[in-house]
Amino acid sequence: MNSQTREVSIVINPRETGFVRLDLTEVFGNGHPVVLEIGSGKGRFLITSAMERPQVNFIGIEKSLHYHRLISERVLKRHLTNVRLINHDAFAVMRDMLPTASVSELHVYFPDPWPRKREQKRRIIRPEALAEMRRVLIDGGSGIYVTDHREYFEAAAPVIAEYFRSEPRIPTADEPPRTNYEAKYRAEGREIYEVRFWK
Ligand SMILES: C[S@@+](CC[C@H](N)C(=O)[O-])C[C@H]1O[C@@H](n2cnc3c(N)ncnc32)[C@H](O)[C@@H]1O
């Protein structure tokens, strides 16, 4: 099989490859900047962004197999070559698979809020996960965390500020929704909270 006929898989499956550190230039076949999305859901942000920014590479980590398969189908249907998908817990993927200083932007939209006290250790905005986010981001890289859950926002904003220069903000009504959950929650009139951060 030569390079022209070789099928590039858009899925990186750590259950097959092992949890090994990835060489992202090799993975994408180029050295373009990499955007990481954690918890891509149905993939609206990932797919829209990958279509709008063909000179940028996108990695979507999604824990749910159902959503992972849905995004895979949508990416394949659009013949997007700048997207890779990983179906696993984002913390473990960052810790074990992503190289230091390999990601330019990090996006986290409406992560599960785990409202019960004893489950809050599962939140993706927690110290050990933020340490990994800081490690994988390049100097000058940026991130964005968006939620409709006020208590999660109030708990997360100071933790983010310990790891990054950060700015909490409320998106304005004229800003278009980036994801399915944002569209749904905005239509319901829910308040949306956001933290932007920079390394
Ligand atoms: C509330 S949904 C939001 C989906 C999408 N970001 C949106 O805004 O429409 C949260 C998503 O994050 C995924 N998720 C939750 N915890 C995760 C983790 N630790 N690693 C990867 N994905 C995770 C869930 O499976 C779910 O699809």
> What is the position in ligand 1's atom list of the atom closest to the CA of 183?
9
12, 37, 40: residue to mutate for ligand 1 pocket, most atoms within 8 A of CB: 40
Residue 2 pLDDT more than 70? Answer: no
Task: Give per-residue pLDDT as tens, 116-130.
Answer: 999 999 999 999 999
Cα-to-centroid distance, 1 and ligand 1 (Å): 37
Q: Hey, whose CA ends up nearest to atom 11 of ligand 1?
A: 39
Catalytic residue among 89, 112, 139, 148: 112
112 is catalytic: yes
Cα-to-centroid distance, 39 and ligand 1 (Å): 3
**Who lines ligand 1 at CB under 6 A?**
38-41, 61-64, 67, 89-91, 109-112, 124, 179-182
14-198, what's its fold?
A: Rossmann fold (3.40.50)
Q: What is the pTM of this model?
A: 0.96
Q: Hey, whose CA ends up nearest to atom 24 of ligand 1?
A: 39
Q: Under DSSP, is residue 163 helix (H, G, I), strand (E, B) or coil?
A: helix
Instruction: Check residue 7 and give its pLDDT.
Output: 58
The mean pLDDT value for 100-127 works out to 96
Nearest to 134 by CA among 161, 97, 156: 161
> CB under 8 Å to 163, separation ≥6 — which residues?
127, 130, 131, 133, 134, 197
The Cα–Cα gap between 61 and 79 comes to: 19
Cβ 150 vs Cβ 80: under 8 Å: no
Ranges of each domain in the chain? 14-198
Q: Give the mean pLDDT of the chain.
A: 95
Task: Give per-residue pLDDT as tens, 145-157.
Answer: 999 999 999 999 9
Task: Give per-residue pLDDT as tens, 28-75.
Answer: 999 999 999 999 999 999 999 999 999 999 999 999 999 999 999 999
The strand pair at 193-198 and 165-169 is best described as antiparallel
